[in-house]
Amino acid sequence: MPMTGVVEIVPPRPALRVQAMAVAYGGIAAVREVSLRVPQGGIITVVGPNGAGKTSLLNAVMGLIPCGGEVWLGEQNLSALPVEERVSAGLCLVPERRELFAPMSVLDNLLLGAWRHRARGAAARRALLDQVFARFPRLAERRAQRAGTLSGGERQMLAMGRALMGQPRVLLLDEPSLGLAPLIVREIFAIIAELRREGVAILLVEQNARAALAVADRAYVLEGGVVTLGGPAAVLANDPRVVQTYLGAGDPAGDAASPLGEVS
């Protein structure tokens, strides 16, 4: 007879699921059979050396380059969709080079990020702007300034703010600390942790492995386009191989970001 009184607990579908992702350039494999899941309100980080395929992985997830494999946003298969439809579904990328419109003002760059909500009217855009300005007060101070004249840290804030104007369900971050001073790195990673607490799912690619592992829930090491190690971020942060290769003592940026473990 069938059992009664037993409730089957089905784990929720992840916010983002990447299955068997593969990317090649001219027959040379850059990403090979990479699979990962990003839970709702979780941070997954991918660390690894230059040329490991980290940026190619994010660009493939976003639909910017041809790839094999599947990309799921919740229950929706995005694999055959172009970039603009992935944005409309709630997937946003903050690229490594920020890709701002330099001659345009901070305000106009942010408004472009609200393209997904263009039908909701001016009041909705104003509310989104208020949220971004509350998170990044310096952008409010420089709203009329051309994006190309901002400092490196301000440009990163603007790139993140533009993505947040789309109210993404999943945020892809490519090297958010690149070229930034330690204090700005600290500020950026504190914001990343705050976004996670607000329920945004984040896939983070980052060379500053110390800061990334401090803020993430789970981590993957990508080397030569292949995942060579994966597990809870706190476990990988103490793995001898990871410590020796990516967490060498005396890394100034890493030391500045290390207290982020307290806010993650």
| Residue 188 and residue 248 in one domain | yes
Please check whether residues 62 and 37 belong to one and the same domain. Answer: yes
The domain tally of the chain equals 2
What is the average pLDDT score of the chain? 87
Q: What is the CATH number of the domain that holds 30?
A: 3.40.50.300
Shared domain check, 81 and 31: yes
Please determine, for residue 175, whether its predicted confidence score (pLDDT) is greater than 80.
yes
Report d(CA 137, CA 185) in Å as an integer.
Answer: 16
pLDDT in tens, 178-220: 888 999 999 999 999 999 999 999 999 998 899 999 999 999 9
Residue found by looking up tokens 């990020």 in the block: 113
Q: What is the pLDDT of residue 261?
A: 34
Q: Would residue 11 count as lying in a domain?
A: no
Residues 114 and 135 in one domain: yes
Between residues 5 and 135, the one the model is more confident about: 135
pLDDT above 80 for 119: no
44-86 tens-digit pLDDT: 999 999 899 999 999 999 999 999 999 999 999 999 999 999 9
Q: How confident is the model at residue 12 (pLDDT cuts 50, 70, 90)?
A: low
214 belongs to a structural domain: yes
Look at residues 115, 143, 166 and tell me which one is the last residue of a structural domain: 166
Closest C-alpha to 16, from 61, 63, 80: 61
pTM as predicted? 0.86
pLDDT in tens, 138-161: 999 999 999 999 999 999 999 999
What does the alpha-carbon distance between residue 88 and residue 118 come to, in Å, rounded to a whole number?
11
Would you say the C-alpha torsion 213, 60, 180, 145 has a positive or negative sign? negative
